[in-house]
Amino acid sequence: MTEATLKRTKEIKSRIESRQAKIGIIGMGYVGLPLALLFSEERFAITGFDIDERKVETLNRGGSYIVRIPGTEIQIAQKSGFSATSDYSRISQMDVVIICVPTPLDEHHEPDLTYITGTVRSIAPYVHEGQLIILESTTYPGTTEEVVVPLLESGNAKGLCVARDMESPGFYVAFSPEREDPGNDSVARRDIPKVVGGCGPAALELASAAYSQIFNRTVPVSSPAAAEMTKLLENIYRCVNIALVNELKQLCMRMDIDLFEVIDAAKTKPFGFQPFYPGPGLGGHCIPIDPFYLSWKAKQFDFRTRFIELAGEVNVGMPYFVVENIIEAMNLQGKALRGSRILVLGLAYKRDIDDLRESPSLTIIELLQKRGAAVEYNDPYFPSVTQGRKYALNMTSTSLDKISEFDCVVIVTDHSQYDYEEIVAKAKLVVDTRNATKGIEAKNIVKC
């Protein structure tokens, strides 16, 4: 670094470490809002950006739309200067901008970077010298430098470029993957190490300084691409191991072996084994999606990720496996699926959260409806649901008082609020995809 460069870096870093830096977080969803609150706890002045005016209005009146974040936390943050806006021109007032927008797959299972590119184009005119831009959205290796940087440079009103070595006026860019685990209360957010990769040593230093204010440990890596790959590795590791136990579940059912018992026994080994559990399919924003991001990128290098693709196929097929087992269970009771009433318990993709993204419940409902069943659902976190995976559902949550009226109850999400003994006692048939009825002895239970 030159002397002038070093001075400028120190000034920016000093503003961060003295809590004087203004931080803007784009995307007030399951990642961005918790991150904003962490910074607010450390007395940073935070501005939350979102294109959804309803979210902006809710936050500014001190409310919350995420179950695990009470409105009181928003109100406390407001006392530290937190506010929300949809006005991207206010990006010009920020010292640090963190992008936390969705990165879904399109209908062809290829990366859809629309939210990233749209956001970057919107903020590019307002990016100023010395500003730090950090992407947190999960994506394929190379996105930060191959997509984000060119858009920021081409759209910048001042003609600034990324200051990789800070030898000329410019802004700094880094990537730091989000590591949110909704519903996990066993690890405090600030105890989750933060991986950071920068476009040059100065960007890495500044991004690490920013995150070290709210996380107990930062993990610097050599480049944004290395940080992007780190996130994919973490989730592909889970995807592959979940696919393994999902496949073993199907085998164990044919062999009349309880796989959950086997897993409980195996995890007593103090080394070399980590337990993963089967289920009705994968949900959430990361695990069902991330492997396909890497598979798509690998094709540009004439490489096929066969192992990863196979795991994805196994997991995608699980809702179909569940439906076939529902059909078989009903047949054994002399009932056809067509015309039967089915109650699906749980819409969220996992226990005790209000998140529908990629939920296998939606696929199972649609598959059952296609086969002629009259399907209803119950979920304490979703009084109603409009959109399914492929078409509109337009359903409202059914009272559990009506369980006895249904031909089959399917446990898809094992919320802790459910009284499973009472459910089994009232239901004609229970198909349990989560081992929620463990320890309950009853002839009307079918595990799958």
Q: What is the pLDDT of residues 23-74, one digit of tens each?
A: 999 999 999 999 999 999 999 999 999 999 999 999 999 999 998 999 999 9
Single-letter amino acid, residue 396: T
Q: Specify which residues 445 forms β-bridges with.
A: 430
* Secondary element (H or E) of residue 154: helix 149-155
- Measured in residues, the chain has a length of 448
Quick check: is 239 catalytic? no
Where are the CATH 3.40.50.720 domain residues in the chain? 3-222, 319-447
SS3 21: coil
Mean pLDDT for the chain?
93
pLDDT (average), residues 363-376: 96
Q: What is the CATH number of domain 319-447?
A: 3.40.50.720
The fold of the 233-314 domain, in CATH, is N-(1-d-carboxylethyl)-l-norvaline Dehydrogenase; domain 2 (1.10.1040)
DSSP state of 145: I
In whole angstroms, give the CA distance from residue 281 to residue 411. Answer: 13
Position 151 confidence tier, pLDDT thresholds 50, 70, 90: very high
CB atoms within 10 A of CB 273: 11
**Does the pLDDT of residue 2 top 60, yes or no?**
no
SS3 23: strand
**Does the pLDDT of residue 284 top 80, yes or no?**
no
**Model pLDDT, residue 346:** 97
Residue 187 CA: distances (Å) to CA of 41, 112, 177: 17, 31, 17
Q: Are 262 and 251 in contact (CB under 8 A)?
A: no
Position 93 confidence tier, pLDDT thresholds 50, 70, 90: very high
Chosen CATH of 3-222 out of 3.40.718.10, 3.50.30.10, 3.40.50.1450, 3.40.50.720: 3.40.50.720
pLDDT (average), residues 229-236: 95
Q: pLDDT over 70 for what percent of the chain?
A: 98
**Does the pLDDT of residue 244 top 90, yes or no?**
yes
Residue 60 CA: distances (Å) to CA of 49, 55, 83, 101, 224: 12, 9, 6, 20, 33
Tokens, residue 20: 């004087």
Least confident window among 90-99, 115-124, 159-168, 208-217: 159-168
pTM over 0.85: yes
Position 164 confidence tier, pLDDT thresholds 50, 70, 90: confident
In whole angstroms, give the CA distance from residue 246 to residue 269. Answer: 21
Of the candidates 286, 183, 287, 187, the one whose C-alpha atom is nearest the C-alpha of residue 241 is 287
**Model pLDDT, residue 167:** 64
**Model pLDDT, residue 348:** 94
Of the candidates 415, 249, 274, 270, the one whose C-alpha atom is nearest the C-alpha of residue 348 is 415
Q: Which of 239, 252, 286, 448 is catalytic?
A: 286
Q: CB burial class (10 A; 0-12, 13-18, 19+) of residue 51?
A: middle
In whole angstroms, give the CA distance from residue 198 to residue 206. Answer: 9
What's the distance, Cα to Cα, between the start and end of the chain in Å? 61
Q: pLDDT over 90 for what percent of the chain?
A: 84
Q: Are 397 and 382 in contact (CB under 8 A)?
A: yes
Angle at 354 between CA 396 and CA 386, to 5 degrees: 35
Q: Specify which residues 431 forms β-bridges with.
A: 410, 446
**Does the pLDDT of residue 87 top 60, yes or no?**
yes
**Model pLDDT, residue 400:** 96
**Model pLDDT, residue 110:** 83
**Model pLDDT, residue 166:** 59
CB atoms within 10 A of CB 347: 29
